[in-house]
Amino acid sequence: MSISPWPLGQLLPVWTVTFQDDSGVALDLTGASLTLQIRNRSSGAVTSGAGSFVITSASTGVATYSPASADVATAGEFEVRGIATIGGKETISDWQYWEIVG
C-alpha cells in the first residue's frame, strides 16, 4: 500500500508492514517489540511514531500500524521506518518516503 501522499490529519487506512531481515526473509515476530520512526526531511529530526503496531502474523513477519493524530499533524516531507526488537536484537528497515499534504 502506498502511504504517499497522505492527507493531513488522516488516520485510516492502517498500514500493513512486513518485517524482513537484510536478505529479504520475513522475521518471526514472536515476542517482538515494534516501533516506528519518523524523520523530517527538512530538519533531519527523528521522532517516534505515536501510533501503535499490532502483529497480525508473527511467523510471516506481518504487522499493522495505526497512525495517531500526532503522526499526521504536520504537512511536509518525511521518511518512516520500522524497527523490530527481538531478543534484544534490532532489525531496522530502510527509510520510506512519506509526504503529508494539507
**Any domain includes 74:** yes
Residue-wise pLDDT for 10-52, tens only, equals 999 999 999 999 999 999 999 999 999 999 999 999 999 999 9
**Any domain includes 85:** yes
pTM of the entire predicted model = 0.93
- Tell me, letter by letter, the H, E, C secondary structure of the chain: CCCCCEECCCCCCCEEEECECCCCCECCCCCCEEEEEEEECCCCCEEECCCEEEEEEHHHCEEEEECCHHHHCCCEEEEEEEEEEECCEEEECCCEEEEEEC
Domain count, the chain: 1
User: What is the average pLDDT score of the chain?
Assistant: 95
Residue 78: domain span: 6-101
| Residue 26's CATH number | 2.60.40.10
**Any domain includes 1:** no
Residue-wise pLDDT for 55-65, tens only, equals 999 999 999 99
**Any domain includes 46:** yes
